[in-house]
Amino acid sequence: MAGTFNVRGAPIGWSAIAVALLASMGGFLFGYDTGQISGIQEMADFISRFGTEPPDGSVAGATMSFNKWLIGLIVSMLSIGTAIGALLGAILADKLGRRYAMFLEVLVFDIGVIIQVTAFQAWSNKFRYMANSIALGIPFATILGVGILFCPESPRWLVANGRNDQAYRSVATVRGAKREDSNPWVEAEYSELVSNYEQDIKLGAGSWVECFKKPNRVLYRTMLGIALQAGQQLTGANYFFYFGATIFSSVDLQDSFVTQIILGAVNFACTFLGLYILERFGRRMPLVLGAAWMVIWLLVFGLAGTLGGTPDGTVTNRGIGILLIVSACMFILGYASTWAPGIWLFCGESFSRRTRAKQASIATLSNWIWNFLIAYFSRPIADSIHFEYGFVFAGANFLNMLIAFFFVYESADLTLEGIDQLYSEPNLKAWHSGKWVPEGYANRDAIKKSEKEDDDVAHIPDDRKDGAWKAKPDPVTGEERDTVRKHPETKVETV
- The SS3 call for residue 280 is helix
Q: Residue 469: its pLDDT value, please?
A: 35
pLDDT beyond 80 at 27: no
Q: What is the pLDDT of residues 100-131, one digit of tens each?
A: 998 998 999 889 888 877 765 447 333 344 45
pTM: 0.75
Return the pLDDT at 225: 95
| Position 431 pLDDT exceeds 90 | yes
**Share above pLDDT 70 across residues of the chain, in percent, rounded to a whole number:** 77
User: Nearest 5 degrees, angle CA 69-CA 89-CA 351?
Assistant: 95
pLDDT tens column, 133-187 = 677 788 888 888 898 898 888 898 899 898 998 999 888 888 887 766 677 888 8
Task: Give me the amino acid identity at 404.
Answer: A
Q: What is the pLDDT of residue 38?
A: 66
Question: pLDDT tens digits, residue range 28-42?
Answer: 777 677 666 766 676
Helix (H) or strand (E) holding 38: helix 14-40
Distance in angstroms (rounded) separating the CA atoms of residues 479 and 351 = 39
Of the candidates 269, 226, 489, the one whose C-alpha atom is nearest the C-alpha of residue 368 is 226
What per-residue confidence (pLDDT) applies to 1? 47
Residues of the chain with pLDDT > 90, as a percent, come to 24
Lowest mean pLDDT segment, chosen from 178-182, 327-331, 425-429? 178-182
Task: Please state the three-class secondary structure of 382-428 as a single string.
Answer: HHHHHHHHHHHHHHHHHHHHHHHHHHCCCCCCCCHHHHHHHHHCCCC
pLDDT of residue 429: 94
Q: How far apart are CA 287 and CA 433, in angstroms?
A: 15
Q: Is the pLDDT of residue 322 over 80?
A: yes
Centre a 10 Å sphere on the Cβ of residue 418 and count the other Cβ atoms it contains: 15
Fold that domain 208-436 belongs to in CATH: Growth Hormone; Chain: A; (1.20.1250)
Are the C-beta atoms of residues 205 and 30 closer than 8 Å to each other? no
State residue 187's pLDDT score. 86
Least confident of 153-157, 371-375, 426-430, 489-493: 489-493
Predicted confidence (pLDDT) at residue 59 exceeds the cutoff of 50: no
Closest CA relative to residue 273, chosen from 332, 336, 339, 329: 336
Is the pLDDT reported for residue 476 higher than 50?
Answer: no
By mean pLDDT, which of 7-11, 155-159, 227-231 is the weakest?
7-11
Q: What's 336's DSSP letter?
A: I
Q: In whole angstroms, give the CA distance from residue 375 to residue 252.
A: 25
Give the residue extent of every domain in the chain: 1-151, 208-436
What distance in Å separates the CA atoms of residue 143 and residue 26, rounded to the nearest whole number?
A: 10
415-435: average pLDDT: 89
The mean per-residue pLDDT over the stretch 50-55 comes to: 67
- Candidate from 60-69, 70-79, 144-153, 183-192 with smallest mean pLDDT: 60-69
- The letter for the amino acid at 154 is S
